[in-house]
């Protein structure tokens, strides 16, 4: 029984698996009441945090999303105007606002985003904490590389090394 994959075999396997994952994610349509909104990945991440971690401040959301508080505040404002989230005063500090999913939208959002959470839980559950960390770190490195500054030369060099052909 093999104990691992070569970097080339793992890369090929993930190149095949990646489009499948993206395709399945795209086929999970948003609930009808959210379908007309132009929700992007940042909105989905914010809604996921609010769904699974509960209400929090704009600054708390900004820290988790790794975005500027002003950016998150604009996103909250947009979703608030559309009745997706609510903002209320913090009972402990009236200068702060607590953001939460609107109660009448919570069920639809839970049904929609919960499927992905259940799938990740299923995939990660049999792994050790160290293996889970490796998976998350690997996906972050992939995200950083693909979302980073212009890396055409590095991509071309890597692709040439994998395929033996110029890109």
d(CA 14, CA 162): 13
- Under the banding of pLDDT at 50, 70 and 90, the label for residue 32 is confident
- pTM, entire model: 0.73
Computed over its alpha carbons, how large is the radius of gyration of the chain? 20
148 has pLDDT over 50? yes
Please check the confidence at residue 160 and state whether its pLDDT lies above 80: no
pLDDT the model gives residue 54: 95
58 versus 24: the higher-pLDDT residue is: 58
Average pLDDT over residues 2-18: 86
Pull the structure tokens for residue 81.
Answer: 């105007």
Q: Which of 70-74, 109-113, 152-156 has the lowest mean pLDDT?
A: 152-156
Q: Considering only CA atoms, which of 97, 95, 99 is closest in space to residue 85?
A: 99
Q: How many CA atoms lie within 13 A of 97 on its CB side?
A: 14
Report which of 138, 165, 148, 149 is spatially closest to residue 11, judged by C-alpha positions: 138
Q: What is the per-residue pLDDT across 112-135, written as a single tens digit (0 to 9) for each?
A: 888 888 999 999 999 999 999 999
Furthest-apart CA pair in the chain: how many Å?
62
pLDDT digit string, tens, across residues 83-106: 999 999 888 888 888 999 999 999
Mean pLDDT in residue range 61-85: 93
Residues 6+ apart with CB under 8 A from 157: none
Q: Which CATH number fits domain 11-126: 1.10.357.10, 1.10.1060.10, 1.10.10.10, 3.65.10.10?
A: 1.10.10.10
């Amino acid at each position: 029984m093999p104990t691992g994959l070569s970097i080339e075999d793992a890369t090929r396997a993930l190149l095949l698996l990646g489009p499948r994952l993206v395709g399945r994610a795209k086929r999970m349509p948003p609930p009808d009441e959210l379908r007309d909104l132009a929700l992007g990945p940042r909105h989905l991440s914010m809604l996921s945090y609010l769904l699974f971690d509960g209400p929090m401040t704009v600054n708390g959301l900004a820290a988790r999303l790794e975005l500027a508080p002003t950016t998150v505040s604009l996103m909250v404002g947009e979703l608030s105007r559309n009745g997706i989230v609510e903002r209320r005063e913090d009972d402990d500090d009236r200068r702060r606002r607590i953001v939460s999913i609107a109660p009448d939208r919570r069920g639809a959002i839970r049904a929609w985003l919960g499927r992905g959470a259940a799938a990740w839980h299923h995939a990660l559950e049999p792994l050790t904490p160290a293996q889970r960390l490796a998976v998350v770190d690997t996906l972050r490195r992939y995200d950083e590389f693909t979302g980073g500054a212009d890396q055409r030369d590095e991509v071309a060099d890597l692709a040439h090394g994998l395929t033996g052909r110029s890109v």
